[in-house]
């Protein structure tokens, strides 16, 4: 089945220690998104790639970076995680960038910061 | 700024009860509307969507939603819930060319067998 895969499902890191979360897709979609979802809150868009074009949300902290080396993979790098970065991180894809495009979500990676 | 409001944070129902989850959004222009569901331990998946046309849309698993433009609402309904409907439900709005989804905070539905 075509899908969005996130690894690992659970990630524990130490305060200030860089961490990378991974997302891959077999849907061959052009757009890949990263969302942050804190407990009891709505998912919040951090940034997205349309093909190789990176689009950062205005309020995404500089601490968060992303890479998309090819169509299938996208990475979320947190350079110096703080306690406030503990959250579920969701990856999503869509065929196109317009508002009519359904987004397909991965299972998420739950990040714990010690 | 655009926002989405889901009025109920946690709803508890018995099986066969009827369900209505409220969703209101703030945006004056054309919107596309979505309901997503997240079953325990699973990923977010699309229940239904509204782009245009008939304001009453039907989705998977017997769910439907009604878009009422004058009320800026897109409430989710199901006539008779099942235990397997226990999940978290998210309303989302997309009002920009860039495809940015704005999510509500979610409603946790617990269905008692």
Least confident window among A19-28, A89-98, A105-114, B95-104: B95-104
pLDDT digits 0-9 by tens, A27-62: 999 999 999 999 878 899 999 999 999 999 999 999
Averaged confidence pLDDT in chain A: 93
B94 touches chain A (CB under 8 A): yes
Q: Give the model's pLDDT for residue A1.
A: 66
Record: contact A99-B96, CB cut-off 8 A: yes
Q: How far is A88 from chain B (nearest CA, A)?
A: 11
- DSSP classification of residue A107: -
Distance of CA B113 to the CA centre of its chain: 22
Q: How far is CA B96 from CA A61, A74, A101, A111, B11, in A?
A: 22, 23, 12, 30, 31
A42 touches chain B (CB under 8 A): yes
Of A31, A98, A102, the CB nearest to B49: A102
Of A45, A90, A99, the CB nearest to B44: A90
What is the chain B residue with the closest CA to A9? B41
pLDDT band at B62 (very low <50, low <70, confident <90, very high): very high
What is the chain A residue with the closest CA to B43? A107
Asked if residues A114 and A15 have their Cβ atoms less than 8 Å apart, the reply is yes
How many interchain CB pairs under 8 A, A with B?
Answer: 55
Q: Give the model's pLDDT for residue B31.
A: 86
B22: exposed, middle or buried (Cβ count in 10 Å: 0-12, 13-18, 19+): middle
Record: contact B51-A94, CB cut-off 8 A: no
Identify the CATH number of the domain defined by range B3-112.
Answer: 2.60.40.10
Indicate whether B63 pLDDT > 80: yes
Proportion of chain B above pLDDT 70, given as a percent: 96
Asked if residues B15 and B113 have their Cβ atoms less than 8 Å apart, the reply is yes
Task: Report if residue A23 sits inside a domain.
Answer: yes
Task: Report if residue A114 sits inside a domain.
Answer: no
How many C-beta atoms lie closer than 10 Å to residue A40's C-beta? 11
Q: Partners of B41 in the beta sheet? A: none
Nearest to B66 by CA among B8, B13, B22: B22
Q: Give the model's pLDDT for residue B99.
A: 64
Indicate whether A64 pLDDT > 80: yes
Q: Give the model's pLDDT for residue A2.
A: 63
Q: Give CA–CA dist A88/B43, Å, rounded.
A: 11
Asked if residues A13 and A111 have their Cβ atoms less than 8 Å apart, the reply is yes
**For position A79, which CATH number holds?**
2.60.40.10
Q: Domain count for chain A, please give it.
A: 1
Residues 6+ apart with CB under 8 A from B112: B12, B13, B14, B15, B83
Q: Give CA–CA dist A27/A2, Å, rounded.
A: 5
Q: Give CA–CA dist A20/A75, Å, rounded.
A: 7
Average pLDDT over residues B57-64: 95
pLDDT band at B9 (very low <50, low <70, confident <90, very high): very high
Average pLDDT over residues A64-76: 96
pLDDT digits 0-9 by tens, B23-45: 999 987 788 999 999 998 888 99
Of B51, B96, B106, the CB nearest to A42: B106
Q: Give the model's pLDDT for residue B97.
A: 60
What are φ and ψ of residue B71, in 5° steps? -105, 0
A53: exposed, middle or buried (Cβ count in 10 Å: 0-12, 13-18, 19+): exposed
Range of the domain at A78: 4-109
pLDDT digits 0-9 by tens, A95-110: 987 777 889 999 999 9
Q: How many CA atoms lie within 13 A of A80 on its CB side?
A: 4
Record: contact B100-A102, CB cut-off 8 A: no
Average pLDDT over residues A7-19: 95
Q: Give CA–CA dist B79/B62, Å, rounded.
A: 8
Of B42, B43, B101, the CB nearest to A45: B101
Record: contact A42-B103, CB cut-off 8 A: yes
Asked if residues B11 and B107 have their Cβ atoms less than 8 Å apart, the reply is yes
């Amino acid at each position: 089945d075509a899908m969005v895969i996130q690894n690992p499902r659970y990630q524990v890191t130490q305060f200030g220690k860089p961490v990378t979360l991974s997302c891959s897709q077999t849907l061959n979609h052009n757009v890949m998104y990263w969302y942050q979802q804190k407990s009891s809150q709505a998912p919040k868009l951090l940034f997205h790639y349309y093909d190789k074009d990176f689009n950062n949300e205005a309020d995404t902290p500089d601490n968060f970076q992303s890479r998309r080396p090819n169509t299938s993979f996208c990475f979320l790098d947190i350079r110096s995680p703080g306690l406030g970065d503990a959250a579920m991180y969701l990856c999503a894809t869509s065929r196109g960038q317009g508002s009519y495009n359904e987004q397909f979500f991965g299972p998420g990676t739950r990040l714990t910061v010690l | 700024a655009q926002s989405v409001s889901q009025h109920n944070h946690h709803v508890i129902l018995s099986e066969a009860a009827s369900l209505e989850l409220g969703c209101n959004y703030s945006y004056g222009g054309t919107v596309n509307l979505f309901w997503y569901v997240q079953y325990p331990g699973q990923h977010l998946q699309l229940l239904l969507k509204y782009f245009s046309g008939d304001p009453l849309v039907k989705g998977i698993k017997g769910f439907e939603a009604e878009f009422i433009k004058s009320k800026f609402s897109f409430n989710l309904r199901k006539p008779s819930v099942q235990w397997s409907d226990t999940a978290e439900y998210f309303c989302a709005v997309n009002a920009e060319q860039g495809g940015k989804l704005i999510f509500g905070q979610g409603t946790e539905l617990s269905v008692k067998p």
